[in-house]
Amino acid sequence: MQPVIDASVFIVDDDASVRDALAWLLRSRRVPSQAFESADAFWHMIEAGFSPQSPCCLLLDVRMPGLSGLALFERLVERGLHHAMPVIFLTGHADVPTAVATVKRGAFDFCEKPFSDNALVDRVEQAIAQSADILQTQQARNSVRQRFSELTERERDVMRLVVDGLPNKLIADQLDISVRTVEVHRARVFDKMNVKSAVELANLLREI
């Protein structure tokens, strides 16, 4: 069962004072957060079944005992979780090559401690906005896939030929069924996929 998480920002840092300061900073901008003392603790939550369902981002320390921030990031990349949960790295060590590499791998940003409070929260809010856009796209795609899964095999046959632009008579000839049967299946496809035209249906199927 996936845990219920209300946080919009996850803070992963082994320094309690940093976690507390970041949580306070985010509260001052009315951004809720949840803190973890290690990358291992955060990964345990992922392993328990958590995946982003609402806009969020991850503030991740680079160097920590046990699983490092970089190693955690690689695991998130492998699972494709870094898109809906953008990662902002935090480090007390200037490391430009690491910064460049992580951003190329898909990290949202890389901030060196001490950082500007306002600049960091601005980036957090931008990351959350990106997360919202990605989740909306994912949810729309999942909705289309769900509707597609509800089509019968014959409805899918008819749908493919409709999308190819064939008129009902040719579809009937190809599938060896009556024109009336094609019309019924076509109407059901449009209804189940919630579209009003073949063009709209074709555009929708590109999201699958």
In the chain the domains, ranked by start, together with CATH numbers, are 9-143 (3.40.50.2300), 150-205 (1.10.10.10)
Q: What is the pLDDT of residues 20-64, one digit of tens each?
A: 999 999 999 889 999 999 999 999 999 999 989 899 999 999 888
Do the beta carbons of residue 152 and residue 78 sit within 8 Å?
Answer: no
Whole-angstrom distance, CA of residue 14 vs CA of residue 63: 9
Does the pLDDT at position 3 exceed 60? no
Residue 95 has pLDDT above 80, yes or no: no
Q: Residue 128: helix, strand or coil by DSSP?
A: helix
Q: What is the pLDDT of residue 187?
A: 97
Question: What would the two tokens of residue 154 be?
Answer: 């014959």
What is the helix (H) or strand (E) element at residue 32, kind and residue range?
Answer: none
How far is the C-alpha of 110 from the C-alpha of 95, rounded, in Å?
Answer: 10
Residue type, 44: H
Q: Quick check: bond before 52 cis, omega within 30?
A: no
Tokens at residue 119, please?
A: 């600049």
- Cβ distance 163 to 205 under 8 Å? yes
**Which distant-in-sequence residues (6+ apart) come within 8 Å of 43 by Cβ?**
67, 72, 75
Question: Which tokens in the block code for residue 18?
Answer: 């940093």
CA-based angle 191:197:202, to the nearest 5?
95
pLDDT digits (tens, 9 = 90+) for 57-84: 999 998 889 999 999 999 999 999 999 9
d(CA 173, CA 169): 6
Return phi, psi of residue 11, to 5°. Answer: -110, 120
Instruction: State which H helix or E strand residue 11 sits in.
Output: strand 9-12
Please give the average per-residue pLDDT across 126-141, as a whole number: 93
**pTM as predicted:** 0.79
Residue 196 contacts residue 132 (beta carbons within 8 Å): no
165-194 pLDDT, tens digit each = 999 999 999 999 999 999 999 999 999 999
**CB of 103 within 8 A of CB of 71?**
no
Q: Place 1 in a pLDDT band, splitting at 50, 70 and 90.
A: very low
DSSP-derived 3-state class of residue 42? helix
